[in-house]
Amino acid sequence: MWVRRVDVDAAQLGDPDAAIWHAAKGETVSLIQTPAAMQPTKYIAAKWQDKPYGQVKTLAVKALRNADEIAFRLEWQDKTKNERRIDNTDFPDAVAMLFPLSEQSPLIMGGEGAPVSLWYWRADHPTRARNDVASGIGTSRVLDAQPIAAQATHQDGRWSVVLRRSLQLEKPVPETPLFAPGQVLRTTFAVWEGGNLERAGIKAFSPSWLELTLEA
């Protein structure tokens, strides 16, 4: 997917309803239910064995950059707007992007010595995305650096979320991706439907990488 350069400020780049996003071309990414074998514990796999989850089938993805930042617009169908986290009774809607940090990084949550970077947005914290790293299923941890801004809307039964970050960090963090004009990189996605109590490995995910090329 082509990441086009646009000459706009951060406010326009971060606004899901900005005209630049409606004009941008993107990709429709197919999602599937995360298999039971990929759940972090046997208990979770057994508990959800006969319950429907991961029912979000597609994610509309667009990407743009300006001189300083890169942004991704993620849109998916979700009839209910779930913004609360209360113990084990309420869970927020969420979406994540995963970036491999090595050529050998497995698509599902990375692996030992081949981690992935995760940008994890939740509807209960709509103006920021968490910056995580994982080296296998059940190993996700939060990094101290939190450089990812977010802005979201829920209209007509659809979430639209923009995640935005500087192309280069003033203080680079080894476990986060760097972006450069002309660069080719890969990403993949996951979506959680809070209204269905989805969290952790109970989600929909993309079973293949999406290749991105940043306009020079």
How confident is the model over 163-176, as pLDDT tens digits? 999 998 777 777 88
The verdict on residue 71 lying in a domain is yes
> Residue 135's domain is classified under what CATH number?
2.60.40.1190
Three-class secondary structure assignment of the chain: CEEEECCCCHHHHHCCCCHHHHHCCEEEEECEECCHHHCCCHHHHHHCCCCCCCCCCEEEEEEEECCCEEEEEEEEECCCCCCCCECCCECCCEEEEEEECCCCCCCCCCECCECEEEEEEECCCCCEEEEEEECCCCCCEECCCCCCEEEEEEECCEEEEEEEEECCCCCCCCCCCCCCCCCEEEEEEEEECHHHCCCCCCCEECCCCEEEEECC
92: confidence class by pLDDT, cuts 50, 70, 90? very high
Q: pLDDT value at position 146?
A: 64
In this structure, is residue 181 part of a structural domain? no
Taking residues 93-114, report their average pLDDT.
Answer: 89
Domain membership flag for residue 107: yes
User: So what's the pLDDT on residue 175?
Assistant: 84
User: Would you say residue 177 has pLDDT above 80?
Assistant: yes
Give domain status of residue 145, yes or no. Answer: yes
Is 178 inside a domain boundary?
no
Residue-wise pLDDT tens digits, 186-198: 999 999 999 888 8
Tell me: the pLDDT tens digits for 7-32? 999 999 999 999 999 999 999 999 99
Model confidence at 87: pLDDT above 80:
no
Domains of the chain: total: 1
49 lies in which domain range? 2-173+186-214
Q: What is the mean pLDDT of residues 115-131?
A: 93
